[in-house]
Structure 1
């Protein structure tokens, strides 16, 4: 397949981190023209897109707001050979349906990226997982049930006017799971989860360890993605940061490690630096470097936790009593703790939580985590987008 133009369709504000992770630089270096279609306002109208970011090269970024924009920009999309569909990882929802129909009407093949995976609690009959947890999940879903969403999730793709994906990219073994947009005709590409990319680039380098504990920030309680969670009333900032400061103080006093904040890519702590405690560094854009040099990682549900597993760093996993009850939290954080053999710490108990095993980890559990959620054994040891582009080009 000849690739001269590629469209990248996103459903979150396109920024520097997205530029890096979507392979734009790799594509342009290979002579492929890239156009980005930012559909945030269509898929998530409540999300503030913020100040538009301009890529450092000639990559065009179109920001779409409604169906008129879809029609207006259809000729631009139609000129592309392939669509990298990042408005979904495989699900069809009322929010992304207009975008999927838009691509289908133009007859363009699209590629899904389903390379990221985390442990979760199964809630389907016959599958493993706590029966009580599955029941709780079903009860918590009841207030959010929508006839429109239910029909969209169940009607055949042909009736919805949506074509299945031409390609799907997987990472670890557990990333390969049933999805609406993945059919027998969908071709599989095995690569790895995004955080493996930085690990792959740095693996042969020698780095001096530092007596630090890295906090993987998720921009809680300010991250606007949580405004998309139905019924969620928010996280109490005083409780959250008060608990973090107590935990950080204990890590520094009892474990002898200086806490460093690896800021979330969308975080802005200008004027809020004091929230983490006096004198603690807040570092942006260097999570991989910080984790690699550290002796401990503090995390909740950040996908960047994979870096701690890859670099064989002990983990403290935390939550709060107002965050944990959300299905999108407990359904993941409980099996993460089980998979890695860690105890969950609630920040409300930070003053008394047992930290005696905080600096240990189970190597066999870490190995299993890599295989399931980061990189399948035997998949290529090459950059993600090199694997993807070469595979697509080689297709008949």
Structure 2
């Protein structure tokens, strides 16, 4: 029996259990262990997000509270393959991370999942000679500290789109063509529904912009304020809904505080799962959510909203612009919404190009991601 270990650094939820196909892997005979390292590698975040409460309760999900218990668990389980979702090289808890990586490599082959990519804004490449010179010491230190990950290197990389496929193929990595994990959700929905009834709705994909838990984890200030954001978005949605004769709905972010957000938004909150809500909508509104790719899969018209408080220097602003350019969809702030007189048309060529680059290559299998990885990676010696 092949043994597969998943090492994660965020409370492993029921959503994670489903999206990584844990139940399916167990059903076809694999022995699976999920080691959640959040309690000892990021105790601050574990306590903030109430990890024990949201973590999925299953015999195969193990909460790890120390480095020694992690190493003991890995050696006891003795996995054939390890899916490393610990985030790689980091200064924080550096020594612990090095020992974790080395202990994994001693017992198993390592596969890295690159199945959630999207058009992230690129950093400027043409730096001045002075800037490059000033960065040399930092680059040297980074290279030295990352050596353990180069020595205990990844054996396989599972990718979704051609962007990552080309990137890692050029770096001589052994790449497995899979697809973005959201394609699994799309496929499940299509298999269960012979036809899709479109409702007369305008759906906003909430990203919990003012209070996302990752802001606390990354120790950064919110890009917008609670005091202004919720009212602004509510006003914008009501304005568009009235102008386009649609009913406004909001799908909250999976980790948003439901009671808090639903009371601050002045728009109805849908309890449909994200895939179904998008599939049934007439128009999708978002900022830069990765769930946008579900709207692309369903070929839904999209409008991207730029909050008035959002700085043009913000990574979120740049992400919105990147999505807008790639998909050829409007990116507008409150003042620009008056320019919208009808539901935007879908640029199928741009949508198809996005899917090829970030979601699913035409040359990849139509099977579920866990099926492809089990067949192409886990079943091999």
Same-fold call, TM cutoff 0.5: yes
2-structure distance, mates of 1:260, 1:293: 11
Partner SS, residue 79 of structure 2 = coil
CA contact (8 A) 1:40 1:49 kept: no
Indicate how the Cα distance of structure 1 residues 282 and 338 shifts in structure 2: closer, same or farther if over 3 A, else same.
Answer: same
Matched, 1:117 2:117: yes
1:40-119 map, 5 Å: 40-47=38-45, 48-52=48-52, 53=54, 55=56, 57-64=58-65, 66-76=66-76, 79-88=78-87, 91-95=88-92, 97=94, 98-99=96-97, 101-106=99-104, 107=106, 108-119=108-119
1:32 aligns to 2:30 (yes or no):
yes
Specify which of 153, 162, 168 is matched with residue 173 of structure 1.
162
* Partner residue in 1 for 2:6: 8
Note the alpha carbon deviations across 1:164-184, whole angstroms, 9 max, x for none: 1111111111123657xx963
Give the direction of change, closer, same or farther, for the CA distance of 1:158–1:51 in structure 2 (3 Å limit): closer
Return the alpha-carbon distance in structure 1 between the equivalents of residues 363 and 27 of structure 2.
27
Give, in angstroms, the shift of residue 325 of structure 1.
4.0
Q: Residue 235 of structure 1 corresponds to which residue in structure 2?
A: 224
Counterparts of 1:228 and 1:358 in 2: how far apart (Å)?
A: 37
1:155 paired to 2:155: no
CA contact (8 A) 1:115 1:192 kept: yes
Distance 1:356 1:146 in 2: 52
Measure, in 2, the Cα distance between the counterparts of 1:54 and 1:120: 28
Higher helix share: 2
Classify 1:160/1:302 alpha carbon distance in 2 versus 1 (closer, same or farther; 3 Å).
closer
For residues 73 and 54 of structure 1, the distance between their equivalents in structure 2, rounded to whole angstroms, comes to: 19
Deviation by residue 1:313-351 (Cα, 9 ceiling, x = unmatched): 01111132444445432332211111111232225x37x
Which ranges of structure 1 fall in alignment gaps of 5 or more residues? 127-133
Following superposition, the deviation at residue 118 of structure 1 comes to: 1.6
Q: 1:87 to 1:294 in 2, by over 3 A?
A: same
Q: Deviations over 1:248-277 (max 9, x none)?
A: 111221111112222211122215423221
Instruction: Tell me the CA shift for residue 287 of structure 1.
Output: 0.5
Q: 1:355 to 1:45 in 2, by over 3 A?
A: farther
Residue range with higher mean Cα deviation, 25-34 or 357-366: 357-366
Matching of residues 322-361 of structure 1 within 5 Å: 322-325=309-312, 327-347=314-334, 349=335, 352-361=337-346
**297, 306, 309: which one aligns with 2:284:** 297
Query: CA separation in 2, counterparts of 1:319 and 1:111?
Result: 37
- The aligned runs of 1:194-205 (5 Å cut-off) are 194-203=181-190, 205=194
Distance across 1 between alignment mates of 2:332 and 2:181: 27
Shift of 1:193: 0.7
Q: What do residues 184-209 of structure 1 show as CA deviations (whole Å, max 9, x unaligned)?
A: 3x421111111111222233521211
* Partner residue in 2 for 1:281: 269
Which TM-score applies when normalising by structure 2? 0.86
Which 5+ residue runs of structure 2 have no aligned equivalent?
Answer: none
Q: How many angstroms apart in 2 are the aligned matches of 1:314 and 1:114?
A: 27
Contact 1:191–1:388 under 8 Å retained in 2: yes
Does the C-alpha gap of structure 1 residues 327 and 114 become closer, same or farther in structure 2, counting only changes over 3 Å?
A: farther
1:248 to 237, 244, 251: 237
- Distance in 2 separating the partners of 1:70 and 1:308: 39
Q: 2:137 & 2:152 partners in 1: Cα distance?
A: 22
Normalising by the residue count of structure 1, what TM-score does the alignment of the two structures yield?
0.83
Equivalent pairs, count: 370
